[in-house]
Amino acid sequence: MAEVQTLRKGDIYDEESQLWRVLEYQHIKVARGGATIRLKVRNVRSGSTVERTYNNGTRVNDVELDKDDVQYLYNDGDLYHFMNTETFEQIALSPEVLEGVKDYLVDNMVVALESYDGEPISIKIPTAVELRVVWAEPAIQGDTANAPTKQIELETGLRIQAPMFVQEGDLVRVNTRDNAYVTRVK
């Protein structure tokens, strides 16, 4: 059991036999009254999003997730296939489980699979990944005022803004939390 005020964005807890992932956390303190905690949560299995309000000190069942290293193999159009790096067992996951992660997956990438009672819940990727640029807008000479950027497309199909000097074929590091260009990798 954990007190609701200890939950943070990304945490998962169990309530009414359902798993809920915290999307947003807000602590509200009113004068002379007790504090309340407002959470925006998503049902891990159904994908529905709701807002919940709890009194400070309310206890919820925190969930301990199992973590295994898995290697991304391929996408067959409907499912994404991974292989456990220790047992070599293959796992097929639906796109819903990979929400926010699909744009960073490249062949043979090793990521962490979080599961609960043998059921895959989510994939955790590093905070920065290196991807190859497959398309870049042409840089316009003289267009250098106010730190100019241009749009580039990465090998996974993700499009982001990058500095004007980035060209096709470059390897760039991208922040996976906010889709931001970090640096060009030599």
pLDDT > 70 fraction of the chain, expressed in percent and rounded: 98
Q: Do 155 and 175 reside in the same domain of the chain?
A: yes
Higher-scoring residue by pLDDT: 8, 70:
70
- In the chain, how many domains are there? 3
Q: Do 117 and 86 reside in the same domain of the chain?
A: yes
Task: For residues 140 and 109, give the distance between their C-alpha atoms in angstroms, rounded to a whole number.
Answer: 35
- When pLDDT is averaged across residues 59-79 and rounded to a whole number, the result is 93
pLDDT of residue 144 exceeding 70: no
The pLDDT score that the predictor gives to residue 143 is 63
Q: Do 88 and 119 reside in the same domain of the chain?
A: yes
The pLDDT score that the predictor gives to residue 139 is 79
CATH for 51: 2.30.30.30
pLDDT of residue 148 exceeding 90: no
Q: Do 104 and 140 reside in the same domain of the chain?
A: no
Q: Do 119 and 159 reside in the same domain of the chain?
A: no
Can you give 69-89 as a three-state secondary structure string?
Answer: EEEEEEECCCCEEEEECCCCC
Q: Do 120 and 139 reside in the same domain of the chain?
A: no
- When pLDDT is averaged across residues 134-160 and rounded to a whole number, the result is 86
The pLDDT score that the predictor gives to residue 186 is 80
Q: Do 30 and 47 reside in the same domain of the chain?
A: yes
Per the structure, the complete domain to which residue 106 belongs is given by 66-124
